[in-house]
């Protein structure tokens, strides 16, 4: 289900040498306040390997032009590289056709594309089901339909430990349910949702299924055909690719029925004074000049991840997450939020007597980078009776030494606030 790519030199005997992988990432050699950078803010945005950076430099220096509409050498070179990236994404998601792969500006742009286009058929009283775990990017676009079309939003809950409550979700489904929009991995809890079962239940009542895969795509193999989802949104910058690039997967038959999201060049077939006819997917949803070099960078990032192997990466991150939970759980001053079985490498926590912003500022003095705040998930934090947390999140290049430096820095912060 993946595009071919060379095996990374760090891979031997079914595992990979994380130190050799770290050498690919220039930022990881930085020092912050006299300490080695311990980068644990990957759920917000991941660092980029030299292979991605250099591929983008090559695209700018030797292949750059606008795509699709030119007949000269550079236009053809840029188009070939751009469409190669689309094929890389298709294989990565195991989509049936490149016609199902739409390049957008971000995961947010992908979800807005679905909400704005599919949403044109939503009427007053139609129901949209979200989970309480959703990122604001998978809440606000649907809220537009509540404000503008009279749609009703229902919320699927999570348990105290952060597991998705599937039985409660099923009880929300009805003949009025039109859309189910659910994350595959929470950006706060790390909870992995049973998307395949969710999709089956939603389809049984005739609802369309939209998945926010921005976190999950980084940490686990994803097969959109096996999951049987209608739409799947991802972003590049969390996947070791540049900012400014996202992807929307959509079933071809659905995309062919949906009206365009934006109007402009590329997405049309014919424009006259009296009428406009639209192109076929994916171009119908790619108005204007696309993020060309960003897409090429995404293709390179996918090939980089595949060169190491998603199963190997998942095993490495799982082992690291277990170790981090053990070490952080031993700090009595911390409250860890989200302990669902099978969760991904994301740990949100509070420190007694200290605001998360203050904690993050103190540990930054020791070179440790975590995220602090709402994580664009205010309904979820309200469910746990808080307004902000610190969040440590892991990537393929993190190590046990990173976890140890995080714990040591938190102990110093704990002593300061005691």
* Structure tokens given for 318: 């799982």
The CA distances from residue 141 to 87, 130, 147, 207, 215, in Å, are 28, 11, 10, 17, 19
Distance CA 128, CA 154 (A): 6
Peptide bond preceding 282: is omega within 30 degrees of 0, i.e. cis? yes
Q: In this structure, how many other beta carbons lie within 10 angstroms of the beta carbon of residue 352? A: 12
Distance CA 351, CA 333 (A): 5
Establish whether 214 is a catalytic residue. no
The DSSP H or E segment spanning 114 is helix 107-118
Distance CA 239, CA 248 (A): 15
Distance CA 10, CA 358 (A): 38
Phi, psi torsion values for 393, nearest 5 degrees: -135, 140
Contacts of 319 (CB under 8 A, 6+ apart): none
Contact between 102 and 286 (Cβ < 8 Å):
yes
Contacts of 228 (CB under 8 A, 6+ apart): 196, 199, 200, 203, 209
- DSSP code of residue 331: -
3-state secondary structure 183-230: ECECCCCCCECCHHHHHHHHHHCCCEEEEECCCHHHHCCCCHHHHCCC
Q: Which residues pair with 21 in a beta bridge?
A: none
The CA distances from residue 136 to 10, 79, 364, 390, in Å, are 37, 34, 26, 18
- DSSP code of residue 259: P
Residue of 144, 376, 386, 408 marked active site: 376
- What 3-state class would DSSP assign to 19? helix
* Structure tokens given for 140: 């606000």
Q: Which residues pair with 140 in a beta bridge?
A: none
Give residue for tokens 């803010």.
41
The catalytic residues are: 376
């Amino acid at each position: 289900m993946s595009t071919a790519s060379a095996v990374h030199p760090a891979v031997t005997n079914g595992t990979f040498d994380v130190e050799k992988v770290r050498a690919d990432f220039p930022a990881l050699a930085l020092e912050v306040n006299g300490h080695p950078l311990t980068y644990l803010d990957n759920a917000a945005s991941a660092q980029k390997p030299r292979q991605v950076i250099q591929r983008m430099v090559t695209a700018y220096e030797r292949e750059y032009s606008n795509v699709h509409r030119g007949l000269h050498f550079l236009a053809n070179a840029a188009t070939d590289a751009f469409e190669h990236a689309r094929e890389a994404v298709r294989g990565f998601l195991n989509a049936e056709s490149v016609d199902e792969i739409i390049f957008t500006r971000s995961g947010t742009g992908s979800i807005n594309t679905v909400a704005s286009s599919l949403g044109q058929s939503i009427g007053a009283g139609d129901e949209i089901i979200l989970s309480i775990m959703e990122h604001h990017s998978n809440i606000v676009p649907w809220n537009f339909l509540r404000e503008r079309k009279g749609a009703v939003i229902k919320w699927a809950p999570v348990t105290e430990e952060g597991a998705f409550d599937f039985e409660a979700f099923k009880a929300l489904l009805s003949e009025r349910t039109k859309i189910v929009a659910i994350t595959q991995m929470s950006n706060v809890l790390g909870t992995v949702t049973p998307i395949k079962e969710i999709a089956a239940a939603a389809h049984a009542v005739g609802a369309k299924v939209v998945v926010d895969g921005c976190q999950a795509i980084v940490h686990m193999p994803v097969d959109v055909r096996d999951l049987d989802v209608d739409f799947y949104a991802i972003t590049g910058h969390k996947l070791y690719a540049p900012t400014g690039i996202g992807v929307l997967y959509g079933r071809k038959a659905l995309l062919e029925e949906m009206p365009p999201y934006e109007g402009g060049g590329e997405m049309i077939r014919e424009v006259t004074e009296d009428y406009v006819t639209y192109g076929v997917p994916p171009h119908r949803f790619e108005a204007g000049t696309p993020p060309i070099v960003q897409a090429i960078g995404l293709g390179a990032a996918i090939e980089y991840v595949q060169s190491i192997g998603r199963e190997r990466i998942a095993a490495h991150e799982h082992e690291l997450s277990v170790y981090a939970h053990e070490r952080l759980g031993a700090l009595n001053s911390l409250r860890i939020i989200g302990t669902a079985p099978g969760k991904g490498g994301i740990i949100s926590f509070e420190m007694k007597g200290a605001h998360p912003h203050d904690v993050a500022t103190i540990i930054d003095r020791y070179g440790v980078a975590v995220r602090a705040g709402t994580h664009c998930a205010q309904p979820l934090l309200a469910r746990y009776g808080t307004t902000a947390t610190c969040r440590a999140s892991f990537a393929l290049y993190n190590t046990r030494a990173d976890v140890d430096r995080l714990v040591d820095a938190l102990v110093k912060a704990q002593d300061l606030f005691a």
